[in-house]
């Protein structure tokens, strides 16, 4: 039988020092510096408005996203630390009170300098396959990464408004958790699926009518009328950028989103 030797105090102390140094190095290498965090917060009015406890949780989850996800530049885009931090922070907003497990089934974020071109293929109701070339600023692949245009995020930084590309694409990822993107993410046990369908369907129909009548007068981004999946994604980004608008236009949708995201942005954001 091998004897288990008690380490001498010196060896034990030395190992402890090395362990502590390693821990400090590791946490520093993964941490967001105070300066970078302050700069990153500047890109998100909702993050700045959150109470201190929520902001601390936001910072911790942002650091976890930075560790857990790969950030890859495409078409010559060089991914900088501020770009990574900016994207990670916005990605955390929807899951602040849900947890990082909601993003467990994807691992990377691809960033293009501007819009990117994709070929889409879909079958119409007559079974005819159509192929389309489209320029996009964001995309959430059902079995793959989130793809983003840096130009679109830069524009949001310069002129803050109702848009938030990262939250929009992350909302699609949440929607995809229970199958196809259809505006119906996996609801919590205390939520009523029929009430969700009723409230979202009524609001979607109302928006489609408004957009058909006069898209320019719609206060909600008319792109939400594209289909129920886009309606959920646009409502989600607007919920966090201009919550009072969602509440005024569709109070029952606001309450559903409040239950789903377990957040109430209206509490913290000033009326636009």
The distance from CA 102 to its chain's CA centroid, rounded to whole angstroms, is 11
The distance from CA 163 to its chain's CA centroid, rounded to whole angstroms, is 12
CB of 50 or CB of 91, closer to Zn ion: 91
Strand partners, 119: 133
CB of 44 or CB of 235, closer to Zn ion: 235
Binders of Zn ion among residues 29 to 88 (CB under 5 A) are none
In the complex, minimum distance from the CB of residue 144 to Zn ion, in angstroms, rounded to a whole number: 15
Q: How far apart are CA 235 and CA 221, in angstroms?
A: 9
3-state secondary structure string, 4-40?
CCCCCHHHHHHHHHHHHHHHHHHHHHHCCCHHHHHHH
Is 181 a residue that touches Zn ion (CB under 5 A)?
no
CB of 61 or CB of 167, closer to Zn ion: 167
In the complex, minimum distance from the CB of residue 19 to Zn ion, in angstroms, rounded to a whole number: 46
Residues 6+ apart with CB under 8 A from 25: none
In the complex, minimum distance from the CB of residue 199 to Zn ion, in angstroms, rounded to a whole number: 20
Task: Return the SS3 of 178.
Answer: helix
Place of tokens 């320029």: 135
Q: Tell me the site size for Zn ion, rule CB under 5 A.
A: 2
Q: How far apart are CA 165 and CA 174, in angstroms?
A: 14
CB of 162 or CB of 230, closer to Zn ion: 230
Give the count of alpha carbons within 13 A of 47, CB side only: 28
CB of 66 or CB of 147, closer to Zn ion: 147
Piece in contact with Zn ion (CB under 5 A), picked from 94-102, 110-118, 222-230, 235-243: 222-230
In the complex, minimum distance from the CB of residue 249 to Zn ion, in angstroms, rounded to a whole number: 19
In the complex, minimum distance from the CB of residue 121 to Zn ion, in angstroms, rounded to a whole number: 17
CB of 199 or CB of 237, closer to Zn ion: 237
Give the residue at shortest CB distance from Zn ion: 233
In the complex, minimum distance from the CB of residue 164 to Zn ion, in angstroms, rounded to a whole number: 12
Roughly how many angstroms between the first and final C-alpha of the chain, as a whole number?
A: 74
Is 233 a residue that touches Zn ion (CB under 5 A)?
yes
Indicate the DSSP class of residue 125: T
- Residues in the site for Zn ion, rule: CB under 5 A? 230, 233
């Amino acid at each position: 039988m091998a004897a288990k030797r008690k380490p001498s105090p010196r060896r034990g102390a030395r190992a402890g020092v090395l362990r502590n140094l390693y821990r400090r190095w590791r946490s520093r290498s993964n941490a967001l510096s105070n300066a970078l965090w302050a700069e990153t917060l500047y890109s998100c009015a909702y993050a700045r408005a959150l109470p201190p406890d929520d902001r601390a949780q936001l910072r911790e989850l942002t650091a976890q996203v930075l560790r857990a996800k790969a950030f890859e530049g495409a078409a010559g885009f060089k991914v900088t630390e501020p770009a990574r931090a900016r994207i990670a922070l916005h990605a955390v907003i929807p899951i602040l009170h849900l947890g990082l497990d909601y993003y467990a089934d994807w691992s990377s974020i691809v960033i293009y300098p501007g819009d990117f071109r994709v070929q889409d293929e879909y079958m119409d109701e007559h079974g005819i396959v159509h192929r389309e070339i489209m320029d996009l600023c964001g995309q959430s692949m059902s079995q793959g990464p989130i793809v983003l245009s840096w130009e679109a995020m830069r524009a949001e930084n310069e002129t803050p408004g109702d848009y938030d590309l990262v939250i929009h694409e992350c909302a699609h990822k949440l929607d995809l958790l229970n199958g196809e993107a259809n505006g119906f993410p996996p609801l919590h046990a205390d939520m009523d699926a029929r009430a969700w369908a009723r409230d979202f369907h009524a609001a979607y129909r109302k928006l489609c009518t408004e957009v058909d009548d006069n898209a320019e007068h719609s206060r909600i981004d008319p792109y939400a009328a594209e289909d129920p999946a886009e309606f959920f994604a646009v409502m989600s980004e607007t919920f966090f950028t201009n919550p009072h608008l969602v509440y005024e236009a569709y109070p029952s949708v606001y309450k559903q989103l409040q239950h789903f995201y377990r957040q109430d942005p209206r509490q913290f954001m000033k009326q636009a």
